[in-house]
A and B are shown apart, each in its own frame.
Chain A
Amino acid sequence: MIILKGPSGSGKTTLLTLMGGLRSAQSGGLQVFGEELVGAKKNKLVKTRKNIGYIFQAHNLLASLTAKQNVQMSLELHDGIKAAEIEQRAIALLEAVGLGDHINYHPHSLSGGQKQRVAIARALVSHPKMVLADEPTAALDSKSGRDVVELMQQLAREQGCTILIVTHDNRILDVADRIVELEDGKITLDTKH
């Protein structure tokens, strides 16, 4: 669990979108999962995206889908998983984030914290190698923000995946295994806990 912090405009979001293959890097070097992403073709970027789970500041769930269907969308992207398995894994992860009773709810009837938990389930259900989260707690009160981060920490441990969280929220720094600080596009601090 890595926390990336730094003043506004320091380039945190930019770094995140570059790592995730959402933006194409023009020069320099950028290796993700051992693959060079600088100058990579769109196909390669799309492939990289499949190995990454995203959690956004706004939950970005699909309004027309239920919690379960939202989570399933992430699994359907991967070939060779049977429909029954997709459903069962989606339900299992929703139960893991404490939403076992809400699998058939649409986002508009879930609270902010619940929506973010669905988003976490969606990001983690396909066992990505890495999860990128940009200020996932910003829209939540401190209690549910804390819950969400602890949930991410627990699931990341279970699955053995890396989670990179961008945050301004100093109250959650203690969950981090490593804290990286960015200032004006440069890493100024890199501490391990």
Chain B
Amino acid sequence: MKTPLSWLQLSHEKSRLLIALAGIGFADMLMFIQLGFKAALFDSSVTFHKALRGDIFLMSPQSDALGFTKTFSERRLYESLAVEQVESVVPIYLNFGSWKNPVKQNNKTTTRTILTIAFNPAKNSLNFPGVAENIDQLKLPDVYLFDDKSRAEFGPIPDLVKQNGTVKTEVDSRQISVRGLFSMGASFAADGNILTSDTNFLRLFSERKKGLIDVGIINLKPGADLASVKATLKSKLPQDVDVFDKEEFMQKEISYWQNATAIGFIFTLGTAIGFVVGIVIVYQILYTDVANHLPEYATLKAMGYKDSYFVILVFQEAIILAVLGFLPGYLLATGLYSLAAGATALPLSMTASRATTVLILTIIMCCASGTVAVKKLSAADPADIF
């Protein structure tokens, strides 16, 4: 084995190495946080879509995203039953309501906007934990299930439900009772969620007309051909509804957050800033390292080492810095993810694919800096050292 000069040179000055690793770790942490929030935004925006039991979905063409839907007539849903391979349909109602926190804060009553989800409880259409166990409760008037991953500002509802079984409060000034919990999670659109029956929904939001729905679910018979049914529905149904399969349905939601808002751009920009900060830090380190070792490199050149040896040396140092700096960044980000997940109720966690992305970005970042630092090598002239 050849003398690992790159590592020996880096590790020779411990404090400088530590500062370098802290800098790279910081840049990595920035990228992790930005990418993490971006992914959490998109993930959280489709947790509802993922949980809906269905093959094909109908929505108004004017609908933007969950919570910003325009209604359409449920007749469209029933028209689709005429298609041979369609087995059943489920209308879904969505609306924001004003939730009253049943526990007074500093002797003041607080309210907060909550997303109300409703469908006919005769058949469970939502794959969230807790829904199947509690769905029969929803058949009772003004009974609701509360999302236990809603933000804490709605009140300690999960604890109260577990203690007392029932929690009474008001939504849009109507008395309701929470008799159970389910787990969905906050999204960028909604900080909290409640679930009830279509009948209760129409009782609560008296301005909403029966028959005007937000999302329509279509279930196909076993063995049906999804693509052909989708095509048939698209041609048969009038233009006042859009037809999606599940993937398209989720993609529409994600595209909304990506394009119609600056959120996606902001997080991408944040990642880019982390990347640039990293390049500057690594460049500083590598440049100083090369500059400090110029007489030594000139000596090695005099001994007969080729120019390529030093280029490889600089890139080895770059990659060592990238990998070693990545580790503290990774650990720090994992910790921050769980802190932020606790504070925001967003599905924020470390994933292998994001870790890989950041590691690759770090290596690119370090090699970009290395490419610039390599230019300094030509200043090592063996004729100068005698």
Those of B1-43 within 8 Å (CB) of chain A = 1-3, 5, 8-9, 11-13
**Within the assembled complex, what's the spacing in Å between the Cα atoms of A52 and B383?**
14
Q: Please tell me which one of the listed residues A49, A57, A63 contacts residue B302 in the complex, with CB atoms under 8 A apart.
A: A49
Among B94-102, B116-124, B293-301, the stretch that binds chain A is B293-301
**B382 contacts partner chain A, Cβ-Cβ < 8 Å:** yes
- Whether B2 contacts A46 by the Cβ 8 Å rule is no
**Within the assembled complex, what's the spacing in Å between the Cα atoms of A17 and B3?**
27
Map CB proximity to B onto A154-172 as digits: 1 under 8 Å, 0 otherwise.
Answer: 0000000000000000000
Those of A45-63 within 8 Å (CB) of chain B = 46-47, 49-50, 52, 54, 56-57, 60, 62-63
**B68 contacts partner chain A, Cβ-Cβ < 8 Å:** no
Nearest-CB residue, chain B, relative to A69: B3
**B306 contacts partner chain A, Cβ-Cβ < 8 Å:** yes
Q: Which of A56, A64, A77 has the most CB of B within 10 A?
A: A64
B301: A residues at CB distance < 8 A:
49
Q: Please tell me which one of the listed residues B5, B11, B304, B383 contacts residue A50 in the complex, with CB atoms under 8 A apart.
A: B304
Given A49-B302, A62-B5, A64-B5, A16 contacting B12 (CB threshold 8 A): no
Given A22-B382, A134-B386, A54 contacting B303 (CB threshold 8 A): yes
Given A65-B5, A73-B3, A76-B3, A60 contacting B305 (CB threshold 8 A): no
A76: B residues at CB distance < 8 A:
2-3
- Whether A60 contacts B304 by the Cβ 8 Å rule is no
A60: B residues at CB distance < 8 A:
295-296, 299, 385
A23: B residues at CB distance < 8 A:
383
Count of interface residues, chain A, beta-carbon cutoff 8 Å: 27
B226 vs chain A, min Cβ distance (A) = 62
Nearest-CB residue, chain B, relative to A64: B12
B12: A residues at CB distance < 8 A:
63-64
B2: A residues at CB distance < 8 A:
76
B3 vs chain A, min Cβ distance (A) = 5
- Whether B5 contacts A56 by the Cβ 8 Å rule is no
- Whether B303 contacts A77 by the Cβ 8 Å rule is yes
**Within the assembled complex, what's the spacing in Å between the Cα atoms of A62 and B306?**
17
Q: Please tell me which one of the listed residues B303, B306, B382 contacts residue A73 in the complex, with CB atoms under 8 A apart.
A: B303
- B contact patch SS: helix
- Whether A83 contacts B1 by the Cβ 8 Å rule is yes
- Whether B3 contacts A65 by the Cβ 8 Å rule is yes
A168 vs chain B, min Cβ distance (A) = 14
Given A60-B295, A64-B9, A22 contacting B303 (CB threshold 8 A): no
A1 vs chain B, min Cβ distance (A) = 19
**Within the assembled complex, what's the spacing in Å between the Cα atoms of A161 and B10?**
36
**A13 contacts partner chain B, Cβ-Cβ < 8 Å:** yes
Those of B43-99 within 8 Å (CB) of chain A = none
Q: Please tell me which one of the listed residues B1, B303, B383, B385 contacts residue A74 in the complex, with CB atoms under 8 A apart.
A: B303
**Within the assembled complex, what's the spacing in Å between the Cα atoms of A73 and B382?**
16
- Whether A16 contacts B5 by the Cβ 8 Å rule is no
**Within the assembled complex, what's the spacing in Å between the Cα atoms of A13 and B5?**
29
Nearest-CB residue, chain A, relative to B297: A62
Those of A34-88 within 8 Å (CB) of chain B = 46-47, 49-50, 52, 54, 56-57, 60, 62-65, 69, 72-74, 76-77, 83
A13: B residues at CB distance < 8 A:
386
**A20 contacts partner chain B, Cβ-Cβ < 8 Å:** yes
- Whether A47 contacts B300 by the Cβ 8 Å rule is no
Given A62-B296, A65-B5, A16 contacting B303 (CB threshold 8 A): no
B383: A residues at CB distance < 8 A:
17, 22-23
**Within the assembled complex, what's the spacing in Å between the Cα atoms of A54 and B12?**
25
A22: B residues at CB distance < 8 A:
302, 382-383, 386
**Within the assembled complex, what's the spacing in Å between the Cα atoms of A54 and B301?**
11
**Within the assembled complex, what's the spacing in Å between the Cα atoms of A62 and B382?**
15
A73: B residues at CB distance < 8 A:
3, 5, 300, 303
- Whether B302 contacts A20 by the Cβ 8 Å rule is yes
A44 vs chain B, min Cβ distance (A) = 12
A77: B residues at CB distance < 8 A:
303-305
- Whether B302 contacts A65 by the Cβ 8 Å rule is no
B6 vs chain A, min Cβ distance (A) = 10
B7 vs chain A, min Cβ distance (A) = 9
A56: B residues at CB distance < 8 A:
299, 385-386
Q: Which 9 residue pairs spanning A and B have beta carbons closest together?
A: A64-B12, A50-B304, A49-B304, A60-B299, A23-B383, A22-B382, A22-B383, A134-B386, A64-B9
A-B contact pairs, 16 of them (CB 8 A): A13-B386, A17-B386, A22-B382, A49-B382, A50-B303, A50-B304, A54-B299, A54-B303, A60-B296, A60-B385, A63-B296, A64-B8, A64-B9, A64-B13, A77-B304, A83-B1
Interface residue ranges, B against A (CB under 8 Å): 1-3, 5, 8-9, 11-13, 295-296, 299-306, 382-383, 385-386
